[in-house]
Amino acid sequence: MPYLSLNPATGKVLQQFASLDRSALPEILQHVALAQQRWAPLSFAERASYLHAIADALLANKDNYAQLMTLEMGKLRREAVAEIEKSALVCRFYADNAAQQLAPEVIASDASHSYVRFEPLGVLLGVMPWNYPFWQVFRYVAPARMAGTGWVLKHASNVPQCALAVEQVCRDAGLPENLFRTLLIKSRDVEAVLASPHVQAVTLTGSEAAGRQVAALAGQNLKKSVLELGGSDPFIVLADADLDWAVAQAIPARFTNAGQSCISAKRFIVVPQIADAFVARLQAAMALLQPGDPDLDETTLAPLARVDLRDELHQQVQDSISAGARPLLGCQVPDGPGAFYPASLLDRVAPGQRAYTEEIFGPVALVLRAADENDAIRIANDTRFGLGSSVWSRDIARAEAIAARIETGNCYINSLVRSDPRLPFGGIKASGYGRELSAYGIRVFVNLKTVWVR
C-alpha cells in the first residue's frame, strides 16, 4: 500500500509515494549507525550549532511548511505556522540547555569519587502521528540531536510530504548525511527496524492500540521504549470558577487542530452550581466556530484529517446519543466533499456510553455533570487514560489540592493543557509511559553510566 497524500478539505489526491522495500532497511540503518558514531564525539557546542541551523531553516521556510500541513492534514494555516515556530523553539531550547542538562552528576558514595555520565545510546526510532507532523518529530529529534544519537522516522502514512520535508529541513541545515532518515515503510516493517542491532530504542506517539503493538515489539527485542498515547483529559469547572475565562479557554482547549489532539479537553466535568450556566455559555461560543477552507483566515474549525476518522467519530457520537447523551449542537455529518464535522456538544454523558469510555478524537465537547466536587474528581479518574487535566477555580490552594488527586501526567490550573519544552510531558495508565521535553526528556534515551573511582 503506497503512502497517500490527499487534501482532507477537498478529498483530492495530492501525491502518492511507494513504500520502501523491507530489503533496503539493513543498509539504511547501517548508514545511520555509522553517521551516529561520527556524531557522538562532537561537543555540545558543535551539536548546538547544527540545531540552531535547523531552527533557522524552519523559520526561513515556515510559510511553505505550514502550507504543506494545511494541504496534507487540514490544519488551519495560522495553527500550522505556530507549529513550525514551536518546532524551532524546541530546537533552540535544547541547543541552549543540553550541556547543563547532560553534565555529569556527582553522587556521594563510599568511592573516592563517583558520578553518573549521560552518554549517547545509539540510533533511535520515532513512530509519529499525523496530527502534529512537524512538532511531534522535532520535540524528540531536538533532545536526541544534543544527546548524540542518530534517528530514523516512521511517520504516519497520510503525511508523507511532511515526513520528507522534515528530513529535508535537516539536510538544509547541514546536518551530516544519514544522521536522520525518514523511512516510508509499512507499519508491519516497524518490527524489522526494531529487530535491527543498529537501533537501540523507540518512541511512539499515537493510538493506544499502536502503542501496545510497538511496546510488545520493543520488549521482544529488549529495546527501550517511550509511549505517548491517547487521552481523555478532564476539564473540571468548580463552583467558584471564572466562567467567562473558563469558556474562553474551553474553545481552544477542545477545538484547536479540530479537536485532534491527545491533550484536548475532551470531558467537561461540571458541578451543579454552575453546570447550566457553563453549558449555555459553551454552546453559544461553539456556535460561533466557522468550518471551511483551512487556508482562509475566517475559518476557525478545520476538517478532520481523513474521512474514515470523521465517520468513526460520527458513529461514536450517534451511539452515545442512542445510549442517553443529549445532543445540543452539531452531531450531523454535513453535505459536501471533505472530512468536515461540525462543532458538536453532547450533554449528560454518562457510563454506558461510548463517549464516556472512549477517546473522542475530533470537534466534539462532552459534558459530564458531577454531584459535587468529590464526585467530579471521581469522574475525572474514572477512565483508563491519564495524560492531561485542568482545574478551574478562583481558589488556587483548593485547585492545587484537587490537582494532587487527579491521576494524570500533568495538570494545569486555570489554563488549557499544552506542551512546553521547559516542562516534562507524558502520561500514565493507558496514556503511556516515559517523559518527553525538559531535562527529563533529554535523559530518557541516553546511557546512564555510573563511574566509581577509588
Q: Is the pTM of this model over 0.95?
A: yes
What average pLDDT is seen over the chain?
98
Contacts of 397 (CB under 8 A, 6+ apart): none
Contact by Cβ (8 Å): 154, 107:
no
In a domain, 248, yes or no: yes
**Separation of alpha carbons 370 and 52, rounded Å:** 48
Q: What confidence tier does 1 reach under pLDDT thresholds 50, 70, 90? A: low
Same domain flag for 311 and 347: yes
Query: What's the full length of the chain, in residues?
Result: 454
Contact by Cβ (8 Å): 264, 226:
no
Residue 344, SS3? strand
In a domain, 419, yes or no: no
In a domain, 42, yes or no: yes
Same domain flag for 203 and 253: no
**Separation of alpha carbons 306 and 197, rounded Å:** 36
Contacts of 395 (CB under 8 A, 6+ apart): 238, 240
Catalytic, out of 83, 208, 228, 407? 228
For 381-409, write each residue's pLDDT tens digit: 999 999 999 999 999 999 999 999 999 99
Same domain flag for 269 and 224: no
For 132-188, write each residue's pLDDT tens digit: 999 999 999 999 999 999 999 999 999 999 999 999 999 999 999 999 999 999 999
Same domain flag for 72 and 174: yes
Range(s) of the domain holding residue 402: 233-413
Contact by Cβ (8 Å): 416, 249:
yes
Same domain flag for 223 and 238: no
Tell me how many degrees the CA angle 346-351-356 measures, rounded to the nearest 5.
50
Q: Which of 99, 15, 84, 11 is nearest to 49 (CA)?
A: 99
For 71-85, write each residue's pLDDT tens digit: 999 999 999 999 999
For 293-321, write each residue's pLDDT tens digit: 999 999 999 999 999 999 999 999 999 99
**What CATH number is associated with residue 272?**
3.40.309.10
Catalytic, out of 91, 162, 170, 262? 262
Distances in whole angstroms, Cα of residue 288 to Cα of each of 242, 251, 283, 298: 21, 10, 9, 11
Same domain flag for 50 and 115: yes
Same domain flag for 13 and 151: yes
Same domain flag for 182 and 255: no
Q: What confidence tier does 2 reach under pLDDT thresholds 50, 70, 90? A: confident
Catalytic residue check, 436: no
In a domain, 219, yes or no: yes
Q: Which residue has the cell 476518522?
A: 309
In a domain, 424, yes or no: no
Residue 216, SS3? helix
Same domain flag for 190 and 248: no
Same domain flag for 254 and 135: no
In 128-206 the beta strands, taken as DSSP E runs, fall at: 150-154, 180-182, 199-205
For 316-373, write each residue's pLDDT tens digit: 999 999 999 999 999 999 999 999 999 999 999 999 999 999 999 999 999 999 999 9
In this structure, what DSSP letter does residue 282 have?
H
Work out the number of other CB atoms within 10 angstroms of the CB of residue 117: 14
Structural domains in the chain (count): 2
Distances in whole angstroms, Cα of residue 78 to Cα of each of 34, 201, 215, 295: 39, 34, 35, 8
In a domain, 326, yes or no: yes
Same domain flag for 265 and 303: yes
Looking at residue 294, its pLDDT comes to: 98
In a domain, 420, yes or no: no
Catalytic residue check, 228: yes
Packing angle, helices 62-73 and 160-172, rounded to 10: 160
Percent of the chain with pLDDT over 70: 100
Same domain flag for 193 and 303: no
In a domain, 418, yes or no: no
**What CATH number is associated with residue 125?**
3.40.605.10
For 90-117, write each residue's pLDDT tens digit: 999 999 999 999 999 999 999 999 999 9
For 221-231, write each residue's pLDDT tens digit: 999 999 999 99
